[in-house]
Amino acid sequence: MEKPILGSHVGMSKANKHGEYLIGSVNEALSYGANTLMIYTGPPQNSKRTQTDKLHIEEFNKILAQNNIEKRNIIVHAPYIINISNPVNQTTWDFGVDFLKQEIQRCEDLGVNILVLHPGARLKGEYIDALNALIKGLNAVASVQKNVIIALETMSGKGTEVGLTLKDFKYVLDNVNEPSKVAVCLDTCHMHDAGYDFNDWNSIKKEIENTITKEKVVCFHLNDSKNPLLAHKDRHENIGYGFIGFDNLLSVLWDDDYIKVPKILETPYVEDKPPYKEEIDNLINKKFTKKVK
Binding residues for Zn(2+): 77, 118, 153, 187, 190, 221, 234, 236, 266
Whether 10 maps to a domain, the answer reads no
Q: Is the pLDDT of residue 1 over 80?
A: no
Whether 213 maps to a domain, the answer reads yes
Whether 6 maps to a domain, the answer reads no
Who contacts 15 (Cβ-Cβ below 8 Å, separation ≥6)?
none
- Split at pLDDT 50, 70, 90, the class of 291 is confident
Q: Is the pLDDT of residue 48 over 80?
A: yes
Three-state SS at 125: coil
Among 155, 146, 147, residue whose Cα is nearest residue 117: 155
User: Strands (DSSP E) along 142-192, which ranges?
Assistant: 149-153, 182-187
- Split at pLDDT 50, 70, 90, the class of 139 is very high
Tens digits of per-residue pLDDT, 56-67?
Answer: 999 999 999 999
Q: What is the largest CA-CA distance in the chain?
A: 51
Angle, nearest 10°, between helix axes 21-31 and 57-66?
20
pLDDT given at position 290: 85
pLDDT given at position 45: 84
- Split at pLDDT 50, 70, 90, the class of 233 is very high
Tens digits of per-residue pLDDT, 175-193?
Answer: 999 999 999 999 999 999 9
Whether 74 maps to a domain, the answer reads yes
Whether 290 maps to a domain, the answer reads no
Q: What is the mean pLDDT of the chain?
A: 97
For a pLDDT cut of 90, what percent of the chain falls above it?
95
- Split at pLDDT 50, 70, 90, the class of 9 is very high
**d(C-alpha 267, C-alpha 274), whole Å:** 8
What's the total number of domains in the chain? 1
> Phi/psi zone of residue 33: left (φ > 0), alpha (ψ -120 to 50 degrees), beta?
left
Residue 200 neighbours by CB distance under 10 Å = 11
Of residues 225 and 45, more confidence is placed in 225
Domain that holds residue 100: 15-285
pLDDT given at position 174: 98
Q: Which residues of 52-91 are buried (b: 16+ CB within 10 A; e: fewer)?
A: beebbbeebeebbeeeebeeebbbbbbbeebbbbbbeeee
Whether 2 maps to a domain, the answer reads no
CA dihedral for 96, 75, 156, 268, sign (positive or negative): negative
pLDDT given at position 27: 98
Binding residues: 77, 118, 153, 187, 190, 221, 234, 236, 266
C-alpha distances (whole Å) from 33 to each of 28, 36, 250 are 9, 9, 17
CATH number at residue 202: 3.20.20.150
**Average pLDDT over every residue of 268-275:** 96
Among 220, 239, 234, 147, residue whose Cα is nearest residue 189: 234
Note if the pTM is more than 0.95. Answer: yes
**d(C-alpha 32, C-alpha 183), whole Å:** 28
Who contacts 206 (Cβ-Cβ below 8 Å, separation ≥6)?
none
Tens digits of per-residue pLDDT, 237-265?
Answer: 999 999 999 999 999 999 999 999 999 99
**d(C-alpha 54, C-alpha 48), whole Å:** 14
CA 239 to chain centre: 17
Tens digits of per-residue pLDDT, 195-214?
Answer: 999 999 999 999 999 999 99
Whether 183 maps to a domain, the answer reads yes
Whether 45 maps to a domain, the answer reads yes
**Average pLDDT over every residue of 220-246:** 98
For a pLDDT cut of 70, what percent of the chain falls above it?
100
pLDDT given at position 124: 93
Q: Is the pLDDT of residue 235 over 90?
A: yes
